[in-house]
Amino acid sequence: MMGLQKGQTLLSRLSLIRLVGEVEIIPPAKVSAKDEGHNRSSPRYQYPLKAFAMIFALVALLLGGGILFHYLSKNPVHMAEAPDENAVLAPKKANVTGELPTGGVVPELVQTADPEQLAKEKESAEQKLADFLHEKKELDEKGGKEWGGGLYAGMIQLGQEADALFINKEYSSASNKYEEALTKANELANQTDDVLTRLMEEGRIALTEGAAERAQQNFSMALMIDPANEFAHRNLERAKKIEAVLQLIDSAKRYEKTNNLSFALTDYQEALGLDPESDQARKGFKRVKGLIAGEQFQQFMSSGFAALHKSEYEVARAGFLKAQSFKPNSREVQDALAQVDQAIRLARIETLREKALAAEQSEDWQRALESYVAVLEMDAAIQFAAQGKVRSLEQIRIAKRINFYLKKPGVLESDRHMENALFLLQEALETEPKGPRLTAQVEKFEQIVKMAQTPVKVTLESDNLTEVAVYKVGKLGRFYTRDLDLRPGTYTVVGTRTGYKDVRQKIAVKAGKNQVRITVKCREMI
């Protein structure tokens, strides 16, 4: 059998190294020729043979028994003749691959260092081996074998060479080799952050390219370096689903080309459900959603304009508002809504104008005024409303003042009121338009004004001894009879005579009467 296979683990080799390394040949004491035969058969002489037998038995158990037993059966251990006191057994050197020597091993008698020095070198080599194995274990846990490349292979080669030296008890050289291997291990360990960054970037690129297997490999190795890395965990899960995501995206694109937008949107949405971070799915979903929104936008805009054309303003507004829900900042929608508002405004103005004209026809000037004011509140620059307001106010004012004199014609006895009435009558006669109602009012007003202006013949009788005076007319002197033409109204007549008590009498001159007779005489002596 050629020896232990190259693939056995370093831990197994370490066990073997430690067990074999414990064997030390105790140099025999100097004996005389006559005692030599006795010493060979003594327990002290037989001790190294028993130690070797026990050690190899234990190694055989640890390595599975059969392999080592077979190996030992073909490679028996031969003991040399008792050396002198400065000689020890030294096995042949193992090859650089770490394999045990093949064939019969014939220990050579070599001159070696002091056993104490050898023990120290061995202890140092064991410590270096332990340090190396510790560092290698951490690297293996971080997947160093997967991403270490040539540096990792070189480290393993140095470790195998060190193992061979250790087995051959060349502890100092083994220690140096382990140190070199440890240096390689530390160099690899120092690269883990850069390797992690590279693996995650390569994984990201693989995801973008749809290379699921490559992406999974990169993120899996990244998680060996940093098991808690959230980015690697998340994207490893994405990599596992990428094939299904890409199939959905391809399906969505086919639907999109045939304008089956609803099916395309469904596939993109499902792809996003599997991988919310998929850039293709996100862009496709947004694009198709925009296309669907565009179609629905045009449909609602068309229905809105159709309703606007039919003067169905509220229906048109509802259509445009639905279109706006798809394009909130659309200038087209804003213009359409403005057209609706303008149409509603113009329709309202036209309605109010018609109401105002109807009110004018019926001479309901108050209602006409209200309609014109409502129009001006919407747009103060509308001329027909401004003119209608002035016209309505004038009609209302004239009608109100005429009604005052019609209800209280007696006030026309006052010169001031008569003057105002005459001015009002002139305004009323010139006012346009003059409907039947206003015409009747003006005619009636004109009649009472004329009556108020028509003098009534008043005859005053006296005794030619009394001095007679009429307020608002003047002193009339003494007379027997005096006729006066007085305008309708209330007058005070006063008579005075020396030695007699004055007389005072009020007379009311009413319009329409033909004649009034009054007697004024002072008869009561003082």
* DSSP 8-state code for residue 522: -
Residue 365's pLDDT is 92
Token pair for 154: 């070189």
Inter-axis angle of helices 279-309 and 313-326, nearest 10? 170
Pick the CATH number of 456-519 from 2.60.40.420, 2.60.40.10, 2.60.40.1120, 3.40.50.300: 2.60.40.1120
Residue 10's pLDDT is 39
Q: Are 269 and 248 in contact (CB under 8 A)?
A: no
Q: Are 497 and 515 in contact (CB under 8 A)?
A: no
Domain with CATH 1.25.40 in the chain: 193-296
The alpha carbon dihedral of 325, 328, 332, 337 has a sign of: positive
Dihedral of the CA atoms 462, 467, 471, 475 (nearest 10)?
110
* DSSP 8-state code for residue 413: G
pLDDT digits (tens, 9 = 90+) for 443-462: 898 888 888 888 888 999 99
Q: Are 185 and 155 in contact (CB under 8 A)?
A: yes
Burial of 411-447, coded b for 16+ CB within 10 Å and e otherwise, reads ebbeeebbebbeebbeebeebeebeeebeebbeebee
Nearest-CA neighbor of 143 among 201, 205, 183, 192? Answer: 192
Is the link from the previous residue into 433 a cis peptide, with omega within 30 of 0? yes
* Other CB atoms within 10 A of residue 266 CB: 17
Domain 193-296 fold: 1.25.40
Residue 526's pLDDT is 83
Q: Are 361 and 388 in contact (CB under 8 A)?
A: no
Backbone angles phi, psi at 380, to 5 degrees: -70, -10
Residue 289 Cα distances to 238, 294, 302, 330, angstroms: 24, 8, 20, 17
Could you tell me which residues are beta bridge partners of residue 474?
Answer: 470
Residue 113's pLDDT is 60
Q: Are 420 and 411 in contact (CB under 8 A)?
A: no
Token pair for 335: 């213009």
Residue 282's pLDDT is 92
Residue 425 Cα distances to 264, 297, 392, 417, 487, angstroms: 85, 66, 18, 12, 19
Residue 90's pLDDT is 35
Cβ contacts of 261 within 8 Å, gap of 6 or more: 255, 288, 291, 292, 295
What is the amino acid identity at position 98?
Answer: G
Domain with CATH 2.60.40.1120 in the chain: 456-519
Annotate 289-316 with three-state secondary structure.
Answer: HHHHHHHHHHHHHHHHHHHHHCCCHHHH
Could you tell me which residues are beta bridge partners of residue 525?
Answer: 500
Residue 4's pLDDT is 32
Residue 182's pLDDT is 93
**Antiparallel, parallel or unpaired: β 489-497 and 500-509:** antiparallel
By three-state DSSP, how is residue 168 classified? coil
Distance CA 445, CA 58 (A): 147
* Residue entry with tokens 């251990």: 77
* Other CB atoms within 10 A of residue 459 CB: 13
Counting as low any pLDDT under 50, the low residues of the chain are 1-53, 56-111
Residue 462 Cα distances to 103, 245, 478, 503, angstroms: 188, 132, 7, 12
